[in-house]
Structure 1
Amino acid sequence: MRAGLRHIALCALALAGLAACETSSLAPRETTVPPHARPGPTEPEPPAPAPEPRSQSLASRDLETYYARVQADLLAQGLLRTDGGGPDTPFTDTMLLRNFERIALAEEYERGAGLRPSDGKLGKIKKWEQPVRVTIEFGDHVPDDQRTTDSNMVIQYINRLARVTGHPISVTGGGANFHVLFMSEDDKDTLAPRIRALVPDVNPSALEIFDDLPRSIHCLVIAFSEQRGGYAYGDAIAVIRSEHPDLLRQSCVHEEIAQGLGLGNDSPNARPSIFNDDDEFALLTTQDEMLLRLLYDPAVVAGMTADQVRPIVRQRAAELLGGT
């Protein structure tokens, strides 16, 4: 939770063939057949009515202004980096293991208790064991041009996550189990009913989160286990505020979808990483990709404890970083 593609459209071009008319030397110079009357001028097609502009409330405009100022302030401080880390952010296999334990095993919030912070203890591995089928939805007040931009961005990111994890993750038009909802402040009355429709047995305390989100909550994701009390995910819903400027909105997508895959916590020691509330990095980093590889290693199973998974992750971390 953040507080604080290439997609090619192919257009078919229809070419109209022009037939040339030729006169024949064998045709008679005179004929008694009267020529067909020339058609009169055609009436131009009336223009299609312009779509009704979507009205935007003052509350939504205020959020746009606020988040634009937040992004500008962070960029002015050299934050929201998009380079994925570099020579100034080295990390070792020991650091990678430590960060994995804090981010994949601890939980930011207590399970089933809304936004109540957890006690920070290490829990169990949470991940998807079935294919992840992602769908993208927009509230009625999200502008059309933004829908195109955001759809392309999510598709590109999902393709990247599938390559990184080796797990079947794809965007689908139906039968989805991971829903990415872009919603405006003006769509908030439809948010809770939509979530209830997607997950009918949703915990009421989880649903209450969406009733009145404070603006400090930029975006969030809720993942649901296949079985009550289990650790293998079966459904997830990420909510992204449409009022964010482009980079903050993309940052939300990167963090919330990755958290919905099982990297559910933040750590102040994780660097370079988006799983750190300091906002230094806006987009998934090289270390974050490694965390996902570790989580989706076939030997790592949902429900494993820290003691069970630690030897596996220690070995794989050393392999990823050459034992540094």
Structure 2
Amino acid sequence: MALAGVTACQPIALAPTVDLAIAPTTQASAASQEIRTYYQRVESDLTVRGLLRIDGGGPDTPYTSAMLARNFERVTFFDEHTLGARLESGGGQQRLLSRWDQPVRIAMEFGPSVSPDVAGSDRDLVAAFATRLARVTDHPIAASRFRANFHVMVMGEDDRSAMRARFAELLPGISATNLARLMVMPKDMHCLVIVSHAEAPNPRILSAVAIVRAEHPDLLRRACYHEEIAQGLGLVNDSPYARPSIFNDDDEFALLTSHDEALLSMLYDPRLRIGMSADEARPLVIQIAREKTGEDAAT
């Protein structure tokens, strides 16, 4: 669904949170209305086909420790996309294990086209999701409007003038070409996250900026929050083999699954170190995956 796992070389400035949703516009433009209708049809089509599931997986989606370990390696140690002259496919290059080593403070920022009711409801959703992620990872993650280092920007077609300066502030190293592309994302790019890492050999995550379309209907918008925030914690890639999972471009699942919780828990397991290669981590990953599925206790 999303172009996620985009990485930036420069740290993202920890700029103060700005509430742009003070005076929502009274009339959406024709372009905004058209794209809102388009995404309503996308969501309806996906749900009619049995996709965008919110059940977290069940008896029809079993997975073994070997599958979990394979999926972890693929989504953790490979890059889906890169930030260069363009936002483009990364070609699946291997990368070192990266995650946050500092508390994650998530701030929501909304464009003027977003109503106060939607902004308030979405803040509550993301705050609850942050609490869930903190429990799963055993890492400090919380919603915060102060000293944020993970910004979630919700913008619509009519918010471009208000958001351009904010993007430039949060992404000081971004090129004019990439900034322009962020302002005019293609329709098939529902949302994205840009993650800033320190340099190797300790490529810890320094900050992140997620961008979500304001025109999405409720489920698609919530799906974007789940996927981009989770990927911004270090699971940067997608895999067609990951199931049940949101780290898969097939749109089968809209929200974080039990399988995805296991992946995040593995990523923040203290036995794995920031900067590990896939080869270095593999024996531990296999062992931790067996523990997560209960296979270790059964043998």
Q: Distance in 2 between matches of 1:230 and 1:59?
A: 44
2:67 corresponds, among 66, 90, 95, to 95
Which deviates further from its counterpart, 117-126 or 251-260?
117-126
Report if the CA contact (8 A) 1:133-1:177 is conserved.
yes
- Show the 5 A alignment for 1:168-187: 168-187=140-159
Compute the displacement of 1:199 (Å): 3.4
Decide which structure has greater helix share. Answer: 2
Confirm whether residue 166 of structure 1 aligns to residue 135 of structure 2.
Answer: no
Report if the CA contact (8 A) 2:194-2:232 is conserved.
yes
1:60 corresponds, among 32, 53, 62, to 32
Q: Distance in 2 between matches of 1:63 and 1:169?
A: 33
Compute the displacement of 1:116 (Å): 1.5
- Show the 5 A alignment for 1:2-81: 2=2, 54-81=26-53
Q: 1:102-145 CA deviation, whole Å, 9 max, x = no partner?
A: 11111111354542212213321121111111111111111121
Report if the CA contact (8 A) 2:2-2:189 is conserved.
yes
Confirm whether residue 141 of structure 1 aligns to residue 120 of structure 2.
Answer: no
* Matching residue of 2:6: none
Q: Distance in 1 between matches of 2:180 and 2:194?
A: 12
Would the alpha carbon gap of residues 108 and 152 (structure 1) be closer, same or farther in structure 2, given more than 3 Å must change?
same
Report if the CA contact (8 A) 1:80-1:281 is conserved.
yes
Confirm whether residue 268 of structure 1 aligns to residue 211 of structure 2.
Answer: no
* Matching residue of 2:190: 218
Greater Rg by CA: 1
Amino acid at match of 2:189: I
Compute the displacement of 1:205 (Å): 5.5
State the TM-score, normalizing by the size of structure 1.
0.81
Q: Distance in 2 between matches of 1:113 and 1:102?
A: 25
Q: Which runs of 5+ in 2 are unaligned?
A: 4-22
Q: Distance in 1 between matches of 2:177 and 2:118?
A: 31
Which deviates further from its counterpart, 239-248 or 106-115?
106-115
Task: Note the aligned Cα RMSD (angstroms).
Answer: 1.9
Compute the displacement of 1:308 (Å): 1.1
Q: 1:75-114 CA deviation, whole Å, 9 max, x = no partner?
A: 1000000000000000000000100111111111135454
Confirm whether residue 282 of structure 1 aligns to residue 289 of structure 2.
Answer: no
Report if the CA contact (8 A) 1:274-1:284 is conserved.
yes
Q: Distance in 2 between matches of 1:197 and 1:149?
A: 26
Name the % identity.
49
* Matching residue of 2:207: 235
Matched pairs, number: 277
Q: Distance in 1 between matches of 2:64 and 2:180?
A: 41
Compute the displacement of 1:70 (Å): 0.2
* Matching residue of 1:30: none
Amino acid at match of 1:57: S
Q: Which runs of 5+ in 1 are unaligned?
A: 4-50
Amino acid at match of 1:170: A
Amino acid at match of 1:211: M
Q: Distance in 2 between matches of 1:102 and 1:318?
A: 17
State the TM-score, normalizing by the size of structure 2.
0.87
